[in-house]
Amino acid sequence: MITKNHCKKEESYLNFSTADKLGICLFKYQLYPTGRFLTVNSALAKILGYASPNDIQKLKFRNLFSDHKDSEEFFRDLKKNKKIKFYETRFKKRKSNDDVWVAITAHMKQAASGKKHVCMEGMLEDITKHKELEEKFYFEKHLFRNLLDNLPDAIYFKDRKNRIIKVNRFYAQGFKMKPAEIIGKTDFDFFPKDQAQKMFNDDTHILKTGKPIIGKIERTLLPNGTYNCVTTTKIPVYDKKGKTIGTMGITRDITAYDHVEQGRLNMVISSLKVLDKVLEIRDPYTFGHTRRVSIIAEKIAKRMGWSEDRILELKMSAELHDIGKILIPLEILNKPGKLSELEFKLIQEHVKKCYEMLKPHDFPFPLPEAIYQHHERLNGKGYPRGLSSSKIIPEARILAISDVLEAMTDHRPYRAALGIDEAAKELKDNSGIKYDKDIVATALKILKENDHKPFWTDQAIKP
């Protein structure tokens, strides 16, 4: 098929045999006047499913195209530019509904024999695998883009310095910005400093440990001054070699759900207040005691960095901690003089009675245990079980200190109020002995900040 001279000329570049081995199709096609193949190697026959190049030579070039629009475009471009490079199209395979993707490079050649003889010489390659990969890549990219743009969650990617490198539309809309305007910024550009610092710490922790943060619930202060409640999941992002190159986060607004939860919670708290009220009506001498203990405990726990959920648990424990007194005879509770040993023992019973009332019920936290332990002391000299330090849970340690602080500064039927200084002395003298050292230090610090005035007065208590 190929002239001897032609072969010699091609040998230093690519001959038919080499092209066949490489799977590259070489062809020469007479466009005018005959419209037929002059030469073609077996690679083309192979990729199109024909037995030999002779089978291809019987075919018209334009009939190889799966899409006639592509064939028209190909010949139009070839005619116009006299050459065409890497034209990608699909060719029909013999006896199969499958197509094969090819890339054609060709040029037009005027035959020396006369102007009326026009040829096309060229090569083409099977690029099906490449196209499949490309399509897969574009599909995944498109899918990813779709997810980013249409998910009603804020999605963001940060680099190792916690700078934002990509956000989705929803994230940007939250700040009334375009995604591109956010690139390069950090959380410190959008959130109050302490909140941004928490986010920064979380990201840094992920980068250091590789451990994700899943479904963290937090309240976020928005630029318009309102709060929303969100759940956030953050994961590390790795490069091909498995090295951490940044973090990715997805944040969902659950404010509406939070409002429903808050409503339910308010209902529970209102029920507790009713219980409180019953206790107060029965025993006016301890009026407001549990609410004030709750305020003290909350202040201490907040200062110690406890989570919102844990503080809520502590507050509920404080509200209920003396509910067992409802079962103690009033004449003993309000006895003006010194209590006998038996009477004191009866009063001590309020802890156990309260525990027994609460224990059968389900709580997602150790509320009954915290109440059971609120009169225990680290040195084991508390009641009812005489537990020693390692057995006393942190909730009970805060409750104990809050209870003492409030009780000593309030009037009782059997004594006048002892005052803040006396209460502070009791805590200080017994720090690390009866009471937890860190909690005492925190309580005393708060007292000092309040000029040793009670920060739990009735005025400070919301009804």
Distance of closest approach, residue 305 Cβ to Fe ion, in angstroms: 25
Distance of closest approach, residue 413 Cβ to Fe ion, in angstroms: 15
CA 409 – CA 421 distance, rounded (Å): 9
Distance of closest approach, residue 330 Cβ to Fe ion, in angstroms: 16
* C-beta closer to Fe ion: residue 403 or 410: 403
CA 410 – CA 309 distance, rounded (Å): 29
Give 404's Cβ-side CA count (13 Å radius). Answer: 27
Give the three-class secondary structure for 4.
helix
Provide φ and ψ at 360, rounded to 5°: -65, -15
Provide φ and ψ at 328, rounded to 5°: -95, 135
List of residues contacting Fe ion (CB under 5 A): 322, 403
Residue labelled with tokens 């419209």: 35
* C-beta closer to Fe ion: residue 118 or 347: 347
* C-beta closer to Fe ion: residue 313 or 322: 322
Among the listed residues 108, 87, 124, the one whose alpha carbon sits nearest the alpha carbon of residue 32: 108
Distance of closest approach, residue 254 Cβ to Fe ion, in angstroms: 36
* C-beta closer to Fe ion: residue 354 or 424: 354
Distance of closest approach, residue 408 Cβ to Fe ion, in angstroms: 11
State CA 438 to chain mean position distance: 33
Q: How far is CA 213 from CA 202, 306, 309, in A?
A: 8, 18, 17
- Report which DSSP code applies to 379: B
Distance of closest approach, residue 365 Cβ to Fe ion, in angstroms: 19
* C-beta closer to Fe ion: residue 27 or 372: 372
Q: Report the relative pairing of strands 244-253 and 227-238 from DSSP bridges.
A: antiparallel
Distance of closest approach, residue 170 Cβ to Fe ion, in angstroms: 49
Q: How far is CA 420 from CA 176, 351, 441, in A?
A: 51, 25, 15
* C-beta closer to Fe ion: residue 190 or 372: 372
* C-beta closer to Fe ion: residue 147 or 278: 278
* C-beta closer to Fe ion: residue 7 or 417: 417
Contact status, residue 223 vs residue 190, Cβ threshold 8 Å: yes
* C-beta closer to Fe ion: residue 234 or 350: 350
Structure token digits, residue 137: 């890549």
Contact status, residue 294 vs residue 319, Cβ threshold 8 Å: yes
Q: Which residues contact 301 (CB under 8 A, 6 or more apart)?
A: 310, 311, 314, 398
Distance of closest approach, residue 293 Cβ to Fe ion, in angstroms: 6
Distance of closest approach, residue 402 Cβ to Fe ion, in angstroms: 9
Beta strands in 135-185, from DSSP E residues, in sequence order: 154-159, 164-167
